[in-house]
Amino acid sequence: MKNLITVLTLASLVFFSLIGCQKDDQAPPEVEEPVAREYSNKVVLQGLSVSTDNSAKLTWSKLDTSAFREYLILRKENKEDIIDISHPFYYPSQIIKRISDPNTTSFTDVELPYTPYLEYQVIAVLGTSNSISKNLYSNSKTYERPDIKVFKAQPYDVLPDLSNNRLYIIESDSGKISIYNFENGALEKSISTNAKIGFSDFGTFNGKRELYVPRNDGWVYVYDAATLQKTDQVNCGSDASCVVFNNNKLFVSTDDDYWPNRPVKVIDRATKAVIATAGDNDRTRIKLIPGTTSEFIDISLYVGPTDLGYLKFDANGNKVIQFEDRYHGDYPLDAMAFQIMPNGLEFITSDEGAIYSKDLTYKLRLPHGNYRYSDFAFSSTGSIIYAACRNNKLVISYTSPGYVETKKYSTKGYPYKIFRKDNTLICLSSSSPLGSYSPYNFSSAKLFIEKIAL
Q: Cα(428)–Cα(23) distance, rounded to whole angstroms?
A: 59
Looking at per-residue confidence, does 435 or 180 come out higher?
180
Note the pLDDT of residue 440. Answer: 86
What value does the mean pLDDT of the chain take? Answer: 89
Bridge partners for 407 per DSSP: 397
* pLDDT tens digits, 10-41: 444 444 444 444 433 333 333 444 555 888 89
* CA gap 297, 174 in Å, rounded: 27
Average pLDDT over residues 102-120: 93
Q: What is the dihedral of CA 220, 221, 222, 223, to 10 degrees?
A: -150
Q: Would you say residue 9 has pLDDT above 80?
A: no
Find residue 428's DSSP bridge partners: 417, 449
Per-residue pLDDT, averaged over 69-98, amounts to: 75
Q: Can you give the pLDDT at residue 35?
A: 54
Note the pLDDT of residue 86. Answer: 59
Kindly state the average pLDDT of the residues 366-395.
Answer: 96
Enumerate domains of the chain plus CATH numbers: 38-144 (2.60.40.10)
Dihedral sign (CA 267, 271, 273, 276): negative
Model pLDDT, residue 90: 44
310 or 80: which leads in pLDDT: 310
Question: What is the mean pLDDT of the segment spanning 422-426?
Answer: 97
For 369-391, what is the mean pLDDT? 96
Residue 344 C-alpha from the chain's centroid: 29
pLDDT at 36: 56
